[in-house]
Amino acid sequence: QAIAKGRRWALHDEEAARAIGQKQNLLVELEQAIEFGNIWTVYQPKWNLREDRLEGAEALVRWEHPERGIISPEIFIPILEKAGRIDELTLNVLKNALDDLSIWSARQSGLSCSVNISAQLLGNDAFIEKAIAMVGAVNTGDGHVIFEVTETAALADLQRSILALKRIREAGISVSIDDYGTGQSTMSYLQRLPIDEIKIDQSFVKTMIADDSNRLMVKSTIELAKALNLKVVAEGVESQPCLDMLSGLGCDVGQGWHISKPIPSEVFERSWLKAAAT
């Protein structure tokens, strides 16, 4: 019995070691990919439902591993976060997004671009100052660069988050609460956070046609956003009925596969921006 148990542990350790080894490999490969520019950014269009026009886009990072193919950010972002290396990647994504937004803005005014900011970066003053300086160096106008922060991130250390978010907004950057509804937010928390926008999590939006409680969640979040004077975005819009229902409920902006999947910047420029004047 003792031996069997010992073996089981041995096996367990070996598996764990292999998993950790793989993660370390992935981390090394990721660092190289960041260094050599093998990480790029795609954009998912956001559609203004009230004015029936393009609102802007969200920047989403992509990594194509030489052997393993496209690896989801849901796998490699947490690895970078745990290694304390998410700042570098985020500054790269922000650089790409700002370069592209400058090109778009020159062709069509009023567009915005959102960038995802990990929880831990709100506590990293050096990162915040670098990011603010980068945004300040391009002339896209106030509020056209949006930092998306998850609800859980903002609530983890409320005092610290409030200070960081204030600093970000003073620099003319808008703040959006991402994945809203999946965490612990209450109205009183939301009121205390210096934010501009709420993004309703796709798990509610995708199912709102068939699921009464999720529809109620979407409806009440839209009402809450209006009461607090915040812009409200629904993500995970996968069908026309869903889009119509969101419009009917007074949702400001929609994002999702029915509108467009995330696309490279060239495709965004070609298919979504107004034709260049000739």
Contact partner, 93, from Ca ion, ligand C2E, none, Cβ < 5-8 Å per class = ligand C2E
Which letter does DSSP use for residue 65 in this model? E
Residue of 41, 90, 112, 116 that binds Ca ion (CB under 5 A):
116
178 contacts Ca ion (rule: CB under 5 A): yes
Contact pattern from residue 58 through residue 87 relative to Ca ion, giving x for each residue in contact according to CB under 5 A and a dash for the rest: ------------------------------
**Rounded Cα–Cα distance for residues 38 and 66 (Å):** 10
- Closer to Ca ion by Cβ: residue 29 or 231: 231
- Closer to Ca ion by Cβ: residue 29 or 121: 121
Applying CB under 5 A, which part among 30-38, 110-118, 157-165, 262-270 lies near Ca ion? 110-118
Answer whether 27's CB lies under 8 Å from 80's CB: yes
Which letter does DSSP use for residue 252 in this model? S
Residue nearest to ligand C2E (CB): 256
What is the Cα Rg of the chain in Å? 21
**Rounded Cα–Cα distance for residues 114 and 213 (Å):** 29
- Closer to Ca ion by Cβ: residue 29 or 114: 114
- Closer to ligand C2E by Cβ: residue 189 or 257: 257
Residue 4 C-beta: closest distance to ligand C2E, Å? 41
Helix axes 265-272, 86-107, angle to 10 degrees: 30
- Closer to ligand C2E by Cβ: residue 108 or 152: 152
Answer whether 135's CB lies under 8 Å from 173's CB: yes
- Closer to Ca ion by Cβ: residue 148 or 197: 148
In the chain, the DSSP E strands lie at 39-48, 53-65, 69-71, 112-116, 145-150, 174-180, 197-200, 231-235, 253-255
Closest CA to 199 of 215, 216, 175: 175
User: What is the amino acid identity at position 16?
Assistant: A
Residue 202 C-beta: closest distance to Ca ion, Å? 6
Residue of 29, 55, 100, 148 that binds Ca ion (CB under 5 A):
148
Tokens representing residue 155 in the block = 């609530």
Applying CB under 5 A, which part among 7-15, 141-149, 184-192, 262-270 lies near Ca ion? 141-149
**Footprint of ligand C2E (CB under 6 A):** 44, 60-61, 72-74, 77, 90, 93, 116, 118, 178-179, 202, 235-238, 256-257, 262
**Rounded Cα–Cα distance for residues 74 and 65 (Å):** 14
List of residues contacting Ca ion (CB under 5 A): 116, 148, 178-179
